[in-house]
Every structure is written in C-alpha cells, then in structure tokens.
Structure 1
Amino acid sequence: MTEREILRIRRFVVKLGEAMHAYGTPSHRLERLLSEVSQSFGLEGSFLVSPTWFSVVLQEPGQEQEYSHISRVKPGGIDLNRLSLTHELVAAVLAGRLEVEDGLVQLGTIRGAPDPYPLWLGFLCWGGVSAGFALLCGSGLMDMLASMTGGWLVFGLEWLAARHPRFEEMLEPLSALLLALLGTGLVALGLPLNVPVVVLSGIIAFIPGLSMTMGLRELAARELLSGTARIMDALMTLFKLYFGAVFGLALGGLLWGGSNRLPLTASLPLLLEGGAVLLLALSLLVMFRVRPRDAFWGLLCGLVAYGGARLGNALFGADLGGLVGALLVGLYANSYARIKNTPTNIVLLPGIVLLVPGSKVYVGLNSLVSGQDMLANAASGAQVFLSFMAIVAGLMFANLILPPRRYL
C-alpha cells in the first residue's frame, strides 16, 4: 500500500470519526467501529475518543511508520438522521460499493443535509416535551400550559445560541433564569402555578440524564477518560441549570413576590399517564431527528420502555424497575438494528430517555441545597444512582443476550 493510499484512508477515517462523534455516537462504540473500518482496509488502528478529544493512529501490519491525527472536538449532540445516513455510507464503503474518495464527498453532503422535520414542528415538540413531563409530575392544566410555553421559550433561546455562539455558554442558566422569572411573574398576576415544577418542565430538554447514562455505560466499558469527562460535563450542566433557576426565583421574588408550591397529584389516571408518555415519545422523535421511516419503530420503543418500567416497578420496586425496561428496550433495539441493518441508537435513544432519572438528580440537588422537596417522594442520591446503574445493567444484559450486528 502506497503512502498516498494510506493518507487517503486516514483522511476518511478521521472525517468519519469526527462526523459520528458530532452525531452522538458513544465513545466505546465509535472506537470499535473505526477499528473495524481500519481493518477492512488492511491497517491497524488505535483510537482514543472523548467528548472533547479525538486521536487516531494508523499503521500497516509489521511496519514501524505511523500515521497519526489529533484534533480538539466539541461534545456532540444527537442527530439520528445524519447518524443513519453515515452508517449506510460506512456499510457501502466496507462492502466495496463506494470508493473512499466518494465516501469523503458524501460525508460532507450528509453534514450539510437538511433536517428531516421543519422548524415549526421542532418548535411544537419542544413545548410537547415540557407539557408531557409536567403531566407526569402530577401537575394541573395551568402548570402544563405554562410548562409548554416555557419549552417554546427555551427553543427560541436554543435557536438563538446556535446562530450566535457567544450565547452558547450561558444557554442553560439563562433559560432557567428566564423561566423562573416567567413563572413568578405569572403567579404575581394571579395564576395558580407550581413555579419550581414549571421551571423544571421547561428546561427538561437540557437535563442531562441521557449524558449521565452514556457516561456510566462508558465507564462500565472501561472507557475511563470519556466516561468521566461526560459525567462531569453533565454535572456542570445540572449546576448551571439549578443555580440559574435559584437566581431567577430569587430575582422574581424581589421584583413581584414569592413563588407558589402547589400540591401535586400523587398518581395520574392510567389513560392520562399513557397520553403524557405518548406525547413525550412523539416529541423526542422530532428532537432527535429520527428519520420518518424509523419514527414508528422509535415510538414503539418508547412504549416498550414505558411498559417495561411499569413491569419492573411492580416486580422489583422503583429503584430497580429501570433494569427491566432497559433490558426490553435493548433487546428491541438490537433486534431492529439486526433486521434493518441500522445503528442501535436509532430506536434505542428515544426509549432510554423515558427511563433515565435525570430530573431526579435536579430535584435531589434542590433538596440538598434548599432543604425543600420540589416533588413528593423525591429520591435520595443513592436511589438515583441505583436507578442509573439499573438502566446501564439492563443495556449490558441486552447486549449479552442479543448483541448488535455492528458496534453501532
């Protein structure tokens, strides 16, 4: 193999890795995928991927000369549409249906591809996620409507931050602060609202429960650098959200009086709870940019997660109930990935998000700092950690019973 060919392959591997990282691929799966791609070209590869670091070393077997690449990357979001398209591109390259040079061109085309859903639908779904979560908290109609409005406000801020990078670092605390001001202002006008729950529901899209689950999963896979970095980033996001909300509540109290803490419903009627879960699942499909042809199966995965969690709660209690839900979701996602030859995450993530107790971490942080429970029966730190680990264990058992065909 000539040096020119190796450099071309290295460029493809680097661009592929950076693209998959940007679309939300976990580090341990991305490293294994890149190793598979390198071996298919007859090269040995060594990779180190973290939320902010991407390192590649390639060499021919038996040769001492190495071809390396190191780059600084930003923590990736979740874009399941582009992830699916990139996975299809990788399959075509590995099967020999697509040349490396053409693959490089298509990677750029995929990065610039339009979103599968219009902006107005994304706007509606940000409000839908907040409204659905408010219902699951046991709040009333006014709280749900205020939460939906808060979700739309946060969507506008997120849209602004995407176009003006100077707002990016302040996006989370600014969102929580403005929602707290909005909630206390509405209470001052006479509306009966539970302001802390409205704030939490409005910023629920920023609560990093999925990131914490991915971090723990990476730690379980011995990806210590990436897992630790991801968890610390998630914790910092939580702190920014919490203290933005605290400052907003204090400022709102100073401007127009204190906030309300109305009682919440302990349990919802089954039909209303199912409707809230359905609203959440549908909204998440749009927020994660799941392709329309995969949307039904992603929605079904969310319902599997909901049913599995209820079954697990009945069998083992709330702390370990997520294990059953994650096991069923993992088996479902791996089966779908095998049948459709797609990444497991395409249907896995919309289901897992309904299981992760990210909001409980926020609520527990509020209880620790303020001494007040935002929600009834707020879980302790140990219970939240056990819930996270139950989900991670369920996913690991699912991969043991029915591993995905490919590392993604």
Structure 2
Amino acid sequence: MDKKEFIQIRRFILKLGKMLHKYGSPSFRLEAYLTEIATYLGVHASFISTPTSLSIVLWSDRHEDEYNHAARMQPGELDMNSLSLTDELANQLLSGEISLVDADKRLNEIDAMPSPYSKGLTAVAFSMSTSAFAMLMGAGWPEIICSGILGFIVYVWTLWAMRSKRVNLMLEPVASFSVGLAACAINFYLDIGFNIWLIILSSLIILVPGLSLTMGLAELSSRNLVSGTARIMDATMQLFKLYFGAFLGISLGYQLFGQQELVVAETLPFWVNWLGVFMLSIGLVAIFRTRMKHVPWAIASTFIAYAASTFSSAYLENGLGAFVGAFSLGVFANLFSRIVNAPSTIVAMHGLIVLVPGSKTYIGLNSFISGQDFIKADHIGQETFMILMSLVAGLIFANVVMPTRKAL
C-alpha cells in the first residue's frame, strides 16, 4: 500500500467515524462497524468512542504508515436518514461500485443534507408524540390535548437550541420550566382540573433520557465501560435538569395562580393505548428522520415491542414483560437488517421508545423529592431497574437467536 492510498483510506475512515458518531451510534456498534470497514480497506485499526470523543489509530501491515487522531465530539443525535445513506455508501464502496475518492465526496453531501421532513411536519410530530405518550400513561382527553399543545412549545425550544449554543446548554431546564408554568396557567384559566405532573411528563417525553440510559447499560454490558458510564451520567444529569426546571415552573405557577390539586383522570378504553402507539410511531418517523422506505418497518417495530411487552406482562411480574418486548424487538430488527441490508438500529430505536423506563425514572424522582405520586406506581425504583436490565438482556438474547448482519 503506497502512502497516497493510505492517506485516502484514513481520510475516509476518519470522516465516516465522525459522521456515525454524530448520528447517535452506540459506541460498541460504532467501533465494531469501523473495524469492519478498515479491515475491508486493508488497514489495521483501533477505535475508542465515547459520547464526547473519538480516538482513531490506523496503520499498515508493516507499520510503514501510522496515523493517530483524537477528536472532541458533541453527543450525537439520532438521524436515521443520514445513518442509512452512510451505510449504503459504505456498502457501495466495499462492493466496488464507487471509488474511494467519490465516496469521500459523497460523505460531504450526506453530512450537509437537511432533514427529509420540514420544520412544520416535525412540529406536528412533537405534538403527536407527546399526546400519544399521554394516552399510554392513562391520561384523559383534556390532558392528552394539553400535552400536545405543550409538546409544540418544547419543539420551539428545541429548534431555538439548534441555532444558539447558549439555549442548547440550558434546553432541558428552560423547556421544562416553560411547560410547568404553562400547564399551571392553562389549568387556572380553563379550570379543567387535570393532572399537571402527568401533562408535564408527557410534554417532555422527547427530552427524557430513557433511551440514553438503556444505551449506556448496553455499552456497559459489552464492556465499553468508559462510554457506558459517561452516557449514564449524562442521562442522569439531563433527568435532574428536566425535573428541576419543571419543579421551578410549577412552584412559580402555584405562586401566580394558586395551589392546584392533582386530579386523577378517568380511565379511557384500552383501545386508546393502541391509538397512542400508532400516533407515537408516526411521530417518531419525523423526529428520528427515518427514510420513507423504512417507515413501515419502523411502525411495525413499535407495535411488536408494545404488544409483546403488554401481553407478556399479564404473566410476568416486576417489569419482566420488557424482556419479552426487547427480545421480540431485537429479533425483528435483526431480521430487518438481513432482509433490507440496513442497520438494525434504524427500526430498533423506534421500538425501544415504547419500552424504555425514562418516564418511570422521572416519576420516581418526583416521588422521592415531593412525596407525591401523580400516578399509581408501587415499587417504582425496583420496577425501573428491572425494566432496564430486562431491555439489555432481551436485546442480547435476540442477537444470539437472530444474529445481526451488520455491526450497526
């Protein structure tokens, strides 16, 4: 291998690694995928990925050329459209359909590509997802509608955070503060009498880091200790910031509009939950920027995960239904990877959203600080821990029964 070819290969791998990190790939999957690419391209490599950094070492067979690179990275956000396009490009390169130079140029085009969904559609997706989660939490119709309205406020802050570093640093507390204050104002002026804390949780569910907690535990289980620990601590701090902002907003709301008692909503028919799953799956398509050809698979993954978890919970206790849900989801996602030749992450993340216990962690934090249970939840801490462990175990068992075709 001459030096010019080595430089081209290292440039491509470096850019590929940074892009996949940017799109929210878990560390253990990112490292395995980059190792496969480097092997195909004929170089030796070592990678260390954490939520905030990426280190790459490349060398040729006889160490004629060596290259070290360490980059400070921002925690990635899920972008299934760019992830899919990047994986397709890597497949074309490895099959000889495109040259390394052209692949490098194509990576730049993918990186600059905007979301396939407009800001208006994404705003609707935020409102739809928050209303859907309120349905799954057993809220009444007034609370479901209010959650959708407040979910739009959260999207406005999220959009602003993309353009301002200062707002991005305070996104979680300022969004939850706005939602808490607005919920008190709506309840006071409309005199509906709804469960304010439940509305706040539903409105903030897109920001609640339940998925990050699960990914962090999955990384720890794969012996990516630094990355897993860092991701769990980051998720914990996000949760604290969300709760503090909501607590501050409600405290100010109580001062301005008076103390408001928690009101338990009437239980809606069970079919409303399935409507909620459908609305949530549709909303996540735009939020995760899923490609249109993968949308049916993504929607199916949410129904499979929820159905398996719900029906098995009737026979299994202590949150073990999440194990069945995660196992079914993992098998389906790996089957998708084999049939479509795309990363299993594309559909797995959609299904995990209905399984992750981020909401239960938030509920437990509220019970610990305020002493109030805004929904009936016995042994919330134990159940949250069991669900987290069940999710990780379910995905591991699924990879054994139906091995994935790709590292991603």
Aligned partners of 1:311 and 1:324 also within 8 Å: no
1:307-344 deviation line (CA, Å, top 9, x unaligned) = 11013202212510000011111101100110110000
Q: Displacement of 1:191 after TM fit? A: 2.7
3-state DSSP of counterpart to 2:169 = coil
Q: Displacement of 1:188 after TM fit? A: 1.9
3-state DSSP of counterpart to 1:69 = strand
Match of 1:274 in 2: 274
Aligned partners of 1:23 and 1:79 also within 8 Å: yes
Match of 1:330 in 2: 330
Match of 2:216 in 1: 215
Match of 2:102 in 1: 102
Match of 1:250 in 2: 251
Q: How far, CA to CA, are the matches of 2:132 and 2:154 in structure 1? A: 15
Aligned partners of 1:264 and 1:376 also within 8 Å: no
Q: What residue ranges of structure 2 are gaps of 5+ in the alignment?
A: none
3-state DSSP of counterpart to 1:168 = helix
Q: TM-score, normalised to structure 2's length?
A: 0.97
3-state DSSP of counterpart to 2:315 = helix
Equivalent residue runs for 1:308-347 within 5 Å: 308-347=308-347
Q: How far, CA to CA, are the matches of 1:376 and 1:382 in structure 2? A: 15
Partner amino acid, structure 2, of 1:306: Y
More off after superposition, 116-125 vs 172-181: 116-125
3-state DSSP of counterpart to 2:295 = helix
1:341-369 deviation line (CA, Å, top 9, x unaligned) = 00001111111111111100000001111
What percentage of aligned pairs have identical amino acids?
Answer: 40
1:354-385 deviation line (CA, Å, top 9, x unaligned) = 11111000000011111111211254222201
3-state DSSP of counterpart to 2:145 = helix
Match of 2:63 in 1: 63
Across the two proteins, how many residue pairs are aligned to each other?
407
Cα gap change, 1:21 to 1:45, in 2 (>3 Å): same
Aligned partners of 2:179 and 2:249 also within 8 Å: yes
Match of 2:8 in 1: 8
The answer to whether residue 309 in structure 2 is matched with residue 302 in structure 1 is no
Q: TM-score, normalised to structure 1's length?
A: 0.97
The answer to whether residue 227 in structure 2 is matched with residue 226 in structure 1 is yes
The answer to whether residue 380 in structure 2 is matched with residue 384 in structure 1 is no
3-state DSSP of counterpart to 1:300 = helix
Match of 1:259 in 2: 260
Q: CA RMSD in A?
A: 1.2
Match of 1:124 in 2: 124
Q: Displacement of 1:133 after TM fit? A: 1.1
Q: How far, CA to CA, are the matches of 2:271 and 2:27 in structure 1? A: 39
Q: How far, CA to CA, are the matches of 1:133 and 1:200 in structure 2? A: 9
Partner amino acid, structure 2, of 1:299: I
More off after superposition, 315-324 vs 27-36: 315-324
Q: What residue ranges of structure 1 are gaps of 5+ in the alignment?
A: none
Match of 2:197 in 1: 196
Q: How far, CA to CA, are the matches of 1:61 and 1:26 in structure 2? A: 29
3-state DSSP of counterpart to 2:47 = strand
Partner amino acid, structure 1, of 2:220: L
Q: Displacement of 1:47 after TM fit? A: 0.3
3-state DSSP of counterpart to 1:304 = helix
